[in-house]
């Protein structure tokens, strides 16, 4: 017989561990990404995402200079150990700046809006103000609402 209380307790422990891991990965990526953006004279990054129906994706990553003009994301690799990505086999490898920006967005969504891609989903953007060193996740959660009434006459 399955001890549901033990299963739920184990699940809660694993969820808490994952939340701590995600928070650490977010901080590591923030520290790694900012200097690369500053070196490329990028003042702002806007990373747009959209999801629904059990799938979702980063749709666009726009890098802007101080005048607001779009510039390409630099093709640079983060140094080993700065923001390694872990593949399914468990090996670590350095990643590109573009991939790190995308990964940061997915981790932020996992941490702050889990399930953002389910049912009606969510959309929004992660905005990085490089000058101010701020990261703001704007997320619009979509849902269908009903206003049902039943009145006995």
3-class SS shares of the chain: helix, strand, coil, % to 5: 35, 30, 40
Q: What is the pTM of this model?
A: 0.84
Q: Can you spell out the DSSP letters for 102-121? A: HHHHHHHHHHHSTTTTSTT-
pLDDT given for residue 92 in this prediction: 61
pLDDT given for residue 88 in this prediction: 40
- Indicate whether 152 belongs to any domain: no
pLDDT digits 0-9 by tens, 93-115: 778 999 999 999 999 999 999 99
When divided into structural domains, the chain yields a total of: 1
- Indicate whether 128 belongs to any domain: yes
- Split at pLDDT 50, 70, 90, the class of 86 is very low
Q: What is the mean pLDDT of residues 60-84?
A: 86
Arithmetic mean of pLDDT over the chain: 91
- Split at pLDDT 50, 70, 90, the class of 80 is low
- Indicate whether 46 belongs to any domain: yes
- Indicate whether 146 belongs to any domain: no
Residue 35's domain comprises 4-141
Query: Who's near 116: CB < 8 A, 6+ residues apart?
Result: 49, 51, 56, 109, 122, 139, 141
- Indicate whether 30 belongs to any domain: yes
Residue 81 has pLDDT above 70, yes or no: no
């Amino acid at each position: 017989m399955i001890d549901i209380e033990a299963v739920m307790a184990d699940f809660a422990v694993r969820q808490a561990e994952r939340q701590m891991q995600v928070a650490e990965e977010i901080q590591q990526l923030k520290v790694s990404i900012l200097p690369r953006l500053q070196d490329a004279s990028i003042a702002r990054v806007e990373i747009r995402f959209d999801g629904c129906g059990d799938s979702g994706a980063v749709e666009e990553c726009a890098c802007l200079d101080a005048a607001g003009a779009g510039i390409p994301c630099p093709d640079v690799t983060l140094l080993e150990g700065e923001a390694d990505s872990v593949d399914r086999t468990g090996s670590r490898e350095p990643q590109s700046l573009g991939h790190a920006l995308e990964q940061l967005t997915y981790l932020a969504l996992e941490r702050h809006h889990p399930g953002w891609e389910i049912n009606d989903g969510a959309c929004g953007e992660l905005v990085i103000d490089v000058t101010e060193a701020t990261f703001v996740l704007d997320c619009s959660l979509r849902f269908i609402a009903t206003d049902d009434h039943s009145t006995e006459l």
